[in-house]
Structure 1
Amino acid sequence: MANAQIKLLIAASGTGGHLFPAIALAEKLPDYQIQWLGVPNRLETQLVPQQYSLTTIAVEGFQQGLSFSSLRIFLKLAGSILTVRRILKQGKFQGVFTTGGYIAGPTVIAARSLGLPVIFHESNALPGKVTCFFGPWCTAVALGFDVAAKYLPRAKNVCVGTPVRSQFLEIEAPNTLDLPIPDGVPLIVVFGGSQGAVAVNKLVRQAAPAWFAAGAYIVHLTGDKDPDFASLEHPQYIKLPFYDNMAALLRRANLAISRSGAGSLTELAVCGTPAILIPYPFAAEDHQTYNAQVFTKAGAAIAFKQSALTSEILQNQVLQLLQSPTELAKMGERAKAIAVPDSADKLASLVREVLET
Structure 2
Amino acid sequence: MTDKKLTVAIAAGGTAGHVNPALALADALRDRGHEVHFFGETRRLEGTLVPQAGFPFHPIHVTGFDRQRPWTLVPALVRLAKEERRLVREFKNGSIPMPDVAIGFGAYLELPLVRAAAKLGIPVALHEQNSVSGLANKQSAKLASLIAMGQPGAEDVLRSHAGANTRIEFTGNPVRTSVLNGNRAQGRAALGIPEDATMLLVFGGSLGAKHLNERLATLKDELLGVEGLHVVHSTGKGGYEDACAALNLTEDEAKRWRVCDYIDNMGDVLSAADLVLSRAGASSVAEIAALAVPAVLVPYPFATADHQTTNARLLTDAGAAVVFADADIDDDDFKQELMDLLQNPARRAAMHEAARGLAQDKAADRLADLLEGLA
TM-score (norm 1): 0.89
Gaps of 5+ in 2: none
| Partner in structure 2 of residue 64 of structure 1 | 67
- Within-5 A mapping of 1:145-160: 145-153=151-159, 154=162, 155-160=166-171
Q: CA deviation at 1:194?
A: 4.9
Gap change, CA 1:229 and 1:61, over 3 Å in 2:
farther
Q: CA deviation at 1:161?
A: 2.0
Q: CA deviation at 1:311?
A: 6.9
| Partner in structure 2 of residue 172 of structure 1 | 183
2:40 to 32, 38, 41: 38
Q: CA deviation at 1:316?
A: 3.2
Q: What is the identity, as a one-letter code, of the residue corresponding to 2:225?
A: A
| Partner in structure 1 of residue 57 of structure 2 | 54
Q: CA deviation at 1:192?
A: 2.4
Q: What is the identity, as a one-letter code, of the residue corresponding to 1:275?
A: A
| Partner in structure 1 of residue 288 of structure 2 | 268
Aligned residues: 354
Matched, 1:25 2:30: no
- Rounded to whole Å, the distance in 1 between the matches of 2:41 and 2:143 is 23
Gap change, CA 1:87 and 1:11, over 3 Å in 2:
farther
Gaps of 5+ in 1: none
Q: CA deviation at 1:256?
A: 0.5
The answer to whether the Cα contact below 8 Å between 2:294 and 2:320 also exists between their aligned partners in 1 is yes
Matched, 1:192 2:201: no
Q: Name the stretch that deviates more: 171-180 or 98-107.
A: 171-180
2:319 to 299, 304, 307: 299
The answer to whether the Cα contact below 8 Å between 2:217 and 2:243 also exists between their aligned partners in 1 is no
Q: Name the stretch that deviates more: 64-73 or 287-296.
A: 64-73
Aligned structure 1 segments of 4 or more residues deviating by more than 4 angstroms: none
Gap change, CA 1:305 and 1:77, over 3 Å in 2:
farther
- Rounded to whole Å, the distance in 1 between the matches of 2:20 and 2:172 is 13
- Within-5 A mapping of 1:80-95: 80-89=83-92, 90-94=95-99, 95=101
The answer to whether the Cα contact below 8 Å between 1:266 and 1:339 also exists between their aligned partners in 2 is no
Report Cα offsets for 1:165-207 as digits up to 9, x if no partner: 1134337362443111122222110122356533322322332
The answer to whether the Cα contact below 8 Å between 2:130 and 2:150 also exists between their aligned partners in 1 is yes
Q: CA RMSD in A?
A: 2.5
- Rounded to whole Å, the distance in 2 between the matches of 1:15 and 1:207 is 32
- Rounded to whole Å, the distance in 1 between the matches of 2:301 and 2:116 is 33
Q: What is the identity, as a one-letter code, of the residue corresponding to 1:223?
A: G
- Same amino acid, percent of matched pairs: 33
Please state whether the residue corresponding to 1:257 is helix, strand or coil: strand
Gap change, CA 1:293 and 1:169, over 3 Å in 2:
closer
Report Cα offsets for 1:277-316 as digits up to 9, x if no partner: 1112222232211111232222221112223332755433
Q: What is the identity, as a one-letter code, of the residue corresponding to 2:21?
A: P
Q: What is the identity, as a one-letter code, of the residue corresponding to 1:228?
A: D
Q: What is the identity, as a one-letter code, of the residue corresponding to 1:40?
A: T
Q: CA deviation at 1:97?
A: 1.7
The answer to whether the Cα contact below 8 Å between 2:318 and 2:354 also exists between their aligned partners in 1 is yes
1:97 to 100, 103, 109: 103
